[in-house]
Amino acid sequence: MAAGVSTAVLLAGCGKPDDGAAQGGAPEVGVITVKVERVVLTTELPGRTAPYRVAEIRPQVNGLILERRFTEGSDVNAGDVLYQIDPAPYQAAYNQAKAAVAMAEAELPALRSREERFRKLLKSHAVGQQDYDDALAALNQMEGQLGVSKAAMESARINLSYTPVKTPISGRIGRSGVTEGALVTAYQPMPLATVQQIDPIYVDVPQSTAEMLRLKRRLADGQLNPDGAGQNKVTIIKVDGTPCAEDGTLKFRDITVDPTTGSVILRVVVPNPDGTLLPGMFVRAVLKEGVNEKAILVPQQGVSRDPKGIPFVWVVDDSGTVAQRMITLDRAIGNKWLVTSGLNPGDRVVVDGIQRVRPGIPVTAVSLKTDRADTH
């Protein structure tokens, strides 16, 4: 009976260990082999939409609003009448000026004939010089009066044409600031309404001067290559996280730095045919910096940090020994880190079983496919 118990104890002590290290063998780890890739680098920045064109509608003459001819929030076309100011006093002024012109034109023929007749009689001394001078002065005065009357008629016509208040641009009109019966004055500070063109629409994106200089330096050093025609294309992400159907185009970078934020404004023009982007809306803009033809990407689960926060990876050399390698990271791209220094093509980086490695110990490295490594 004692022998049976001893045998059971021995058998229990021969169970399978948790890993190879418990048996004294090399632990098994999953590695990926570093290689260079072509990566299009982008930067995501916050931005705010602004109308492509804005027209604040103000009256150009004084008067009473008789009618509002638009629906608030609707689309209007350039030249559409938005308000009708009472035209009666301006129509009367125009008629009066027109009548003054007619009167002057009616008197001119008689004065011209009198001046011509006196000029002929003056040669034969049938009339005196003073009589001729008076006739010429009367003609010149009436011609001048006709010019004044025509100018007054034109001014009255312009004022009359301002009584229908029109929009100078096409776009979407907001709420009305006045109703029928309101008294308005010419060029008043408060606009009657505002028309904004939102297709296309601007997106103003602030970029720090430090980031701008860093990008220029990397392009000048050859670390990045311009992406040709696609360099100016910008993807706009709406507030709900969905991208706009069409990419925007980077038009220009402002030359003035905001002293409070130390940034410059990038202006992007974005097609907005469905009107989903409204002025003042916050969005995110994904700008293309350029192309890194020799980028090194490492799965994020393969990167650790020391107590000081400095990133490092575990690298398996040709003899199967693990070593710690300090690296420099640029940014996260998907579920990978872009490494700028510390790794070379061909290095084998541990991405699976990191908890089983220690500096200088031998391991059994099993190559993993990149897509498999990314899923951990």
Burial of 175 (0-12, 13-18, 19+ CB in 10 A): exposed
Rounded to a whole number of angstroms, the distance between the first and last alpha carbons of the chain is 51
Q: What values do phi and psi take at 57, rounded to 5?
A: -80, 120
- Strand locations in the chain, DSSP E? 28-33, 36-57, 63-68, 75-76, 81-85, 164-166, 171-173, 183-184, 193-208, 233-237, 248-253, 263-270, 282-299, 304-305, 311-316, 322-326, 328-333, 336-341, 348-352, 364-367
What is the layout of strands, in order, in the sheet containing 164-166? 164-166, 81-85, 63-68, 183-184
In one-letter notation, the amino acid at residue 280 is: G
What are φ and ψ of residue 77, in 5° steps?
-110, 150
The pLDDT value recorded for residue 306 is 92
Q: What is the pLDDT of residues 184-214, one digit of tens each?
A: 999 999 999 999 999 999 999 998 888 888 7
Identity at 361, one-letter amino acid code: I
Average pLDDT rounded to a whole number, residues 300-305: 93
Residue pointed to by tokens 């360099």:
231
9-53 pLDDT, tens per residue? 333 334 333 444 444 578 899 999 999 998 888 888 999 999 999
Give bridge partners of residue 237 from the DSSP assignment: 243, 284
Q: How high is the pLDDT of residue 229?
A: 57
Structure confidence by residue, pLDDT tens digits, 75-102: 999 999 999 999 999 999 999 999 999 9
| SS3 state of residue 232 | helix
- Cβ within 8 Å of residue 14, ≥6 positions away: none
Q: Residue 164: phi, psi to the nearest 5?
A: -85, 115
Inter-CA distances, 261 with 199, 212, 258, Å: 29, 14, 6
Tell me the pLDDT band of 279, cut-offs 50, 70 and 90.
very high
Percent of the chain with pLDDT over 70: 89
From the list 348, 222, 205, 184, the residue with the least C-alpha distance to 264 is 205
Residues pairing with 166 in the sheet: 81
Domains along the chain? 23-38+294-374 (2.40.420.20), 42-52+198-292 (2.40.30.170), 63-85+163-190 (2.40.50.100), 87-162 (1.10.287.470)
Single-letter residue type at 98: K
